Amino acid sequence: MFGFKKTFLLVCFIITLSSATEVFASGQKESIDIYSGKTGRITVYISGPAAMISKLEKAFEKEHGDVLDLVQMGCGPLRQRVWSEMEAGQIKADVFWGSDPLIYIALDNKGALEAFTPEGIEAVRDEFLTESSYTLINERYIVVIYNSKKLTEERIPSSYADLLDPGLKGFIVQADPSQSSTALAIVAGLWDIHGRNWDFYRGLAANNFFLSKKNSDVPSKIQEGEFDAGIAPHDAVLRLQKKAKKEGYPTPLAICWPEEGPLAIQRPIAISRNTARPEVNEQIARSFVSFMISKQAQKITTMFGFASVRKDLPLTVGIPGDLEIRRVDWDYLASHENDIRDGFKALFQ
Amino acid sequence: MFLGIILSVFILYPFSILLLRSLGISAESFKPGIDIFTRIFSKRGTWKALVNTIYTALLVTVLTAIISGILAWLVVRTDFHFKRLIKNLSFLTFIIPPYILALSWLEFLGRNGYLHRILGYIFGLKEYTLEYYSITAVAIVMSIHLYPLVFMALCNALEKHDPSLENAAIMSGATAWKTTFSITIPLIIPSFLSIGLLVFSRTMANFGVPALLALPVRKEVLTTRIYASLSDLNIDEATALSFLLVFLSGLVFTSYTLIFRKKSFATINFNGEKPRIYSLGKRKWIITAVVFLFQGITTILPLATIFISSFLKRWGLPLKLEYLTLNNYIQLLFKNDQAVAAFRNSITYGITGATFAAVIGSSIAFISHSSEAKGGKVLELVASWPMAFPNIVLAVAAILAWNTPPLALYGTPWIIIVTYMVLFTPIIMKNVTGLIQNHDRTQTFAARISGASPFRSFLDVTFPAIFPGIKSGWLLCFLIALKEIPISLMLYSSGQETIGVLLFGMQSQSYGLEMTSTLAVVIIGLIFIGNIIIQTGKRRIKNENASD
């Protein structure tokens, strides 16, 4: 009889061999789409404030029924998840919304997005129309945030460049581009508007700037008094100011709209390409993307500080009307993403 | 046979994939070689992370050895008061998860922390230059977390070894110092080494503390570098770094096993002779005060900091009545859907993973130590492997193994449950092995002679004897599931957030450190209750064995 030990070793051998064979074979297999979701419900990967997401879900489902499985996560995990799933063979989400254009451009280049033009696109302002497979839903502005209690009048920054003030050494914070997708977009954008060189970030590194996990940590840490100033999207500050007012406590948070013009980062939405997706789910996914540029959804997002892409909605409360926005060439930055990431890392080695 | 298949599928398969991938063999390419390693070692960051990892682990090993050596000697060999209290406080420190200790470190020592506020209030201090984010901060927090482990082991060693050697030295005219350095310390060196290696390996494997206290100032260790590589979508680098970490852990684990096998170094106190108790004399109260100050700083202060912060409307606000609230607890336990789901998920995954591990781990322990079935030792060896693997590496192996058919578990709760099962099986095995070895096998033989089948005799004779071990091991695993971070952080998806994921990412625009503190208080409460149940169970087993 075959002994236990031999049987065990044989099983180990077979499994190891099969795993290796699987690994080799899958390299040569043609990609065949598999749909792992449920018919009649779509999975949406989504990043953003929980209360906003909840309002959007309720508004959409009021008309379409209980059809959304929302998976909330930060923009960094969203980017990581979508990319890992694409590399593993199939993006599990039908729709994903959040983060920044860089990851969507990379996914589009890999053919992982479905080309789709949502209903009502004519209501969107020209600067937000793209020829890519994704749709731009909102815009946010990268501002300098500061703690008005910690900084004296003369120290209050008025530009990105003011953060290089040695008086702020050790008290500046920004999100870590290796943990936050939007932070990578911020680094790329600021690198771009500073003449595509690293002088600005080299200066910040010399000023011992701190890297937080997420963009939303930046205003939190400044409000809490751990840091004096930082760089982050404006919308989180507006929400924190609103929350403090509602709950009855003072907040020292203030925004400086930088003199150089605030960097604009758009939040895209996209449908993943999957030929095996049932027709009913395809329709829900398309309806959801169209809903996101509707007046109703856009109004909800502006309540949470984001700027709308629609022509017929006024500027979000808290954003000055006379801003000179700095928009960057995301396609160029996407094609240099690895160089930018490595360049940033190299500043600290 | 069944167990062999389970271990092959859930342990050997993921680790063989990890090995293949790190050797350049993957679904995307077939380029066997060590290119990935050449690439990662060409980066200065890898070397820095490696040096930081070893530096932190060494510093923690040395710090815990010094603190625990002094404390254990005071508790076992002197007329120090409050011995039981010191042991209990140390145990309390040990059950606080290290990530929560790190949080309390920030809340107390941070720029807007309580210490700065107190110093500002008393002395008007404005400038605050303490470097509370650093590799040294990581080492201090890990030392506070791990010193109780060393302390307990050294107390045990000091209590058990033969005091007649020391007594002989003293009778021959040696001073107390000379006896301590020439007899006592050399006798407990094997215990120092084996527990020191465990401390070294646990520090090296930790992810949460360096992620919180070192990564923000761009100081990396291997675990945070693996995490950053995955965030950068660089699976190859994450895999190679995982392999490097496993290699280091393997070295430590092998050394630990070798030293542990040679524990016969220790002398046994056969004649029941009492060790000599040194008098601390006039210095007793000063020493007591210093010890209590230490315990206050390492145990009471972190707990108090977290507790107070959990009632603030927003972390950073002054401690005034108008800014205190119970709303954080109400939000966390009843209103915040994500938090409620995280508790539900952690409990479900913990129960399921621990139950599978209990069945597999106890079966392997039984086959290996009690039954006549062949191959038991091989099963035990393979099932023990995950002990040498840091949790973050288990997560990377799971991602590689379970994101494609035949078993596409990625994206389902099963990937977390299966990884928990792999992590928990050796813990259950260790818990049960001692009971099986102590179990009187003549009872099993008597059952067999009386006509009972092997299964019947296991069910009626062996199982009741090992059940308390399974129970306490199960609970221990369940408690680990409530506080672990890296596995669930790497593997969670659609609605599968766990308490660990929440703890790591709760601080956001909606919540500050006050809500993380609230969650930390709830976790500590749960762990405390769980540990009381475990300790009560262990005492009962001890009493039952004594009465037998």
Any idea of the CA torsion for B302, B308, B310, B311, to the nearest 10 degrees?
Answer: 180
Q: Which of B133-147, B441-455, B484-498 has the lowest mean pLDDT?
A: B441-455
Pick from B30, B217, B228: CB nearest A178 = B228
Smallest Cα distance from B36 to chain A, Å:
17
Contact B378 A8 (CB under 8 A): yes
Q: B545 pLDDT exceeds 70?
A: no
Q: What is the CATH number of the domain that holds A271?
A: 3.40.190.10
Q: Which of B27, B493, B508 lies at the smallest CB-CB distance from A27?
A: B27
- Asked if B63 and B440 touch (Cβ cutoff 8 Å), the reply is no
In chain A, which among 166-195 make CB contacts under 8 A with chain B?
171, 176, 178-179
Contact criterion met (CB < 8 Å) for B512 and A345? no
Q: Are B421 and B10 in contact (CB under 8 A)?
A: yes
Contact state of A239 with B403 under an 8 Å Cβ cutoff: no
* pLDDT in the model for residue A15: 55
pLDDT at B323 over 80: yes
**Phi/psi at B412 (5° precision):** -115, 160
Q: What is the pLDDT of residue A65?
A: 95
Interface touch B112/A225, C-beta < 8 Å: yes
Domain count, chain B: 1
Q: What per-residue confidence (pLDDT) applies to A292?
A: 97
Residue A246 and residue A148 in one domain: yes
Whether residues A222 and A318 fall in one domain: no
| Angstrom distance (rounded) from CA B371 to CA B353 | 25
User: Between A241 and B6, whose confidence is greater?
Assistant: A241
Nearest to A88 by CA among A112, A113, A104, A114: A112
Tokens for B228?
A: 């950053």
Least confident of A22-26, B9-13, B174-178, B353-357: A22-26
Same domain, A342 and A223: yes
Residue B495, φ and ψ in degrees, nearest 5? 65, 20
Buried b (16+ CB within 10 A) or exposed e, B488-504: bbbbbbbbbbbbbbbbb
Which pair of structure tokens corresponds to residue A45?
A: 């990967």
Tell me the average pLDDT across B52-67. Answer: 95
Is B354 inside a domain boundary? yes
pLDDT of residue B509: 47
Give the model's pLDDT for residue A2: 45
**A274 and A204 both lie in a single domain:** no
A219-223, B222-226, B255-259: lowest mean pLDDT where? B255-259
Mean pLDDT for the stretch of residues A212-227 = 90
B218, B322, B509: residue with CB nearest A348: B218
Could you tell me if A197 lies within 8 Å of chain B, comparing CB atoms? no
d(CA B222, CA A173): 24
In a domain, B187, yes or no: no
DSSP state of B334: I
Backbone torsion region of residue B438, taken as left when φ is above 0, otherwise alpha when ψ lies between -120 and 50, otherwise beta: alpha
Same domain, A128 and A78: yes
Q: Which residue has the higher pLDDT, B411 or B55?
A: B55
Query: Which residue on chain A is closest to B327 by alpha carbon?
Result: A247
Instruction: Give the DSSP H/E element, type plus range, for residue B245.
Output: helix B235-261
Chain A residue closest to B379 (CA)?
A: A8
Top pLDDT among A222 and B532 is at A222
Length, in residues, of chain B? 548
Task: Please calculate the CA angle B210-A227-A215 and round it to the nearest 5 degrees.
Answer: 65
B3 to chain A, closest Cα gap in Å = 9
| Per-residue pLDDT, B464 | 85
Same domain, A110 and A231: no
Asked whether the predicted pLDDT for residue B255 surpasses 50, the reply is yes
Distance from CA of B8 to the nearest CA of A (A): 5
Total domains in chain A come to 2
Helix, strand or coil for residue B233?
Answer: coil
Of B79, B50, B32, B277, the residue nearest B179 (C-alpha): B277
Mutation to test the A interface, candidates B128, B509, B516, most A Cβ within 10 Å: B509
Say yes or no: ipTM exceeds 0.90.
no
Q: Please report whether residue B512 resides in a domain.
A: yes
User: Tokens 């042991």 label which residue?
Assistant: B87
A212: in domain: yes
**pLDDT of A49-70, one tens digit each?**
888 999 999 999 999 999 999 8
Asked if A178 and A251 sit in the same domain, the reply is: yes
For helices B83-95 and B44-77, angle between their N-to-C axes, nearest 10 degrees: 160
Q: Is A71 on the interface with B (CB under 8 A)?
A: yes
Report the residue from B233, B405, B410 with minimal CB separation from A83. Answer: B233
- DSSP 8-state class, residue A308: E
- Taking contacts as CB-CB distances below 8 angstroms, the residues of chain A near B8 are 8, 11-12, 15
* Confidence at residue B31, expressed as pLDDT on a 0 to 100 scale: 67
Residue B400 forms part of a structural domain: yes
Label residue B160 by pLDDT band (50, 70, 90). confident
Question: Which one of A33, A221, A241, A340 would you mutate to disrupt binding with B, by most B Cβ within 10 Å of its Cβ?
Answer: A221
- pLDDT score of A40: 94
Check B233 against A43: CB less than 8 A apart: no
Q: Are residues A121 and A258 in the same domain?
A: no
Classify residue B500: in a domain, yes or no.
yes
CB contact under 8 A, A226 and B111: yes
Element (DSSP H or E) covering residue A265: strand A263-271
pLDDT tens per residue across span B81-115:
888 899 888 888 888 999 999 999 999 999 889 99
Helix (H) or strand (E) holding B200: helix B185-205
Chain B's closest residue to A214, CA to CA, is: B508
Q: pLDDT band at residue A28, thresholds of 50, 70 and 90?
A: very low
**CA B435/CA B541 separation, integer angstroms:** 10
Question: Closest approach of chain A CAs to the CA of B400, in angstroms?
Answer: 9
Cross-chain residue pair B375–A69, CB shorter than 8 Å: no
Q: What is the pLDDT of residues B18-50, one digit of tens each?
A: 888 777 776 666 666 677 888 888 888 899 999
DSSP line for A160-198: SGGGG-GGGTT-EEEE-TTT-HHHHHHHHHHHHHTTSSS
Mean pLDDT across the stretch B513-540?
87
Average pLDDT, chain B: 85
CATH number at residue B465: 1.10.3720.10
B219 occurs within a structural domain: no
Percent of chain B with pLDDT over 70: 93
**Mind giving me the DSSP string for B31-94?**
--SSHHHHHHHTSHHHHHHHHHHHHHHHHHHHHHHHHHHHHHHHHHHB--S-HHHHHHHHHHHH
Of chain B, the end-to-end C-alpha distance in Å amounts to 36
How far, in whole angstroms, is CA A337 from its chain's centroid? 15
Tell me A141's DSSP state: E
Q: Is the pLDDT of residue A24 over 50?
A: no
Min distance A321 CA to chain B CA atoms (Å): 25
Residue B362 belongs to domain spanning: 1-29+328-548
Residue A63 lies in a domain: yes
- Which has the higher per-residue pLDDT, B545 or B537? B537
Predicted pLDDT of residue B250: 82
CB contact under 8 A, A8 and B111: no
CB A255 within 8 A of CB A237: yes
CB pairs under 8 A between A and B: 168
Contact call for B5 and A11, based on CB within 8 A: yes
Give domain status of residue B374, yes or no: yes
Tell me the per-residue pLDDT of A261-313, one tens digit each, with 9 for 90 and over.
Answer: 999 999 999 999 999 999 999 999 999 999 999 999 999 999 999 999 999 99
Which of A2, A6, A11 best probes binding to B when mutated, by most B CB atoms within 10 angstroms?
Answer: A11
Residue B2 lies in a domain: yes
Residue B424 clears pLDDT 60, i.e. is over it: yes
| Same domain (yes/no): A97, A131 | yes
Closest partner residue to A4 (CB to CB) among B29, B374, B505 is B374
pLDDT at B371 over 70: no
Question: Do A84 and B233 count as a contact with CB atoms less than 8 A apart?
Answer: yes
Within this chain, do residues A102 and A175 fall inside the same structural domain, yes or no? no
Q: Look up the domain containing A315 and give its range.
A: 42-138+266-327
Average pLDDT of the segment spanning B499-514: 78
Tell me: pLDDT of A321 over 60: yes
Pair A230, A222: CB distance under 8 Å: yes
pLDDT for the residue numbered B492:
85
Which residues in chain A are closer than 8 Å to B17, comparing Cβ atoms?
19, 23
Residue A6 included in any domain: no
pLDDT at A21 over 70: no
Same domain, A157 and A259: yes
Mean pLDDT (whole number) for B377-393 = 84
Higher pLDDT: A119 or A88? It is A119
Q: Please, which pLDDT band fits residue A26 given cuts at 50, 70 and 90?
A: very low
Residue A152 in domain: yes
Q: Cβ contact (<8 Å) for A3 and B374?
A: yes
The share of chain A scoring above pLDDT 70, in percent, equals 90
pLDDT digits (tens, 9 = 90+) for B165-185: 777 887 788 777 788 778 877
Q: What is the pLDDT of residue A1?
A: 41
Regarding whether A259 and A277 lie in a shared domain, the answer is no
